[in-house]
Amino acid sequence: MYLAMRNVLGEDEIFEGSVAYGTVQNFAHFVGLANDNYNRFQVDYLDVKQLHANANYDKEINNIISLNVNADYYKWDEAVYHKPNFTCELSAPINLRNKIKVKPTLSYVGKRFYDIDKELSAQFHANLGLYYNYTQNIGAYLQLNNLINSKQELWKDYREVGFNGLFGLHYSF
């Protein structure tokens, strides 16, 4: 079952929401395998019933700045390891002269279980993207991720990289 709606709230303001419920077959479920020498994961495939709710809000405040909010909520009928129940992202893209764009982003990933009664803590990230479009076909970008240098566990016994950056050029022909 799936229900979705898109509503134009006002000029340059849109809300989209959806709710879905159904059976997911072969849902990837990652179980940690501990050995004295190494840590590995085994993928178990579960048949689960899943409720998924999504909300997305976009508002163009003016010609320079916009606001985007996206949230996802999941509920399963049995424990699913290493998958968050709630995620949320807030960004405020800034358009400078239509060639340079700056996109600050705050994101939240909720708690994840890795065993029946053991959980990984929630994560909060601040990211910054800088994008330059020389022409419609040529551009460059710089992405600075995890600005607060968080080094929490993404997976059991696997920590985040911490602050990192990505630079790239793109050409379309």
Tell me the per-residue pLDDT of 88-109, one tens digit each, with 9 for 90 and over. 999 999 999 889 999 999 999 9
Q: Give the model's pLDDT for residue 40.
A: 79
Top-confidence residue, 115 or 70 = 70
Per-residue confidence band for 131, with pLDDT thresholds at 50, 70 and 90:
very high
Q: How many CB atoms lie within 10 A of CB 172?
A: 8
* Whether the Cβ atoms of residue 132 and residue 100 lie closer than 8 Å to each other: yes
What b-and-e string marks burial along 51-87, b requiring 16 or more CB atoms within 10 Å of the CB? ebbbebbbbbeeeeebebbbbbbbebeeebbbbbeeb
pLDDT at 134 over 80: yes
pTM of this structure: 0.85
pLDDT (mean) for 48-54: 96
Token pair, residue 171, equals 């050409």
Please report, as a single letter, which amino acid is at residue 34: A
Above 80 in pLDDT, residue 36? no
Does residue 16 or residue 136 have the better pLDDT? Answer: 16
Confidence class of residue 115 from pLDDT cuts 50, 70 and 90?
confident
Q: Shortest CA distance to 73 belongs to which of 88, 89, 86, 55?
A: 86
**C-alpha gyration radius of the chain:** 20
**Greater confidence, 90 or 33?**
90
Report the alpha-carbon distance of residue 72 to residue 53 in Å, rounded.
6
Q: Which two tokens stand for residue 155?
A: 């997976």
Residue keyed to tokens 């996206």: 70
Residue 173 has pLDDT above 90, yes or no: no
| pLDDT exceeds 80 at position 60 | yes
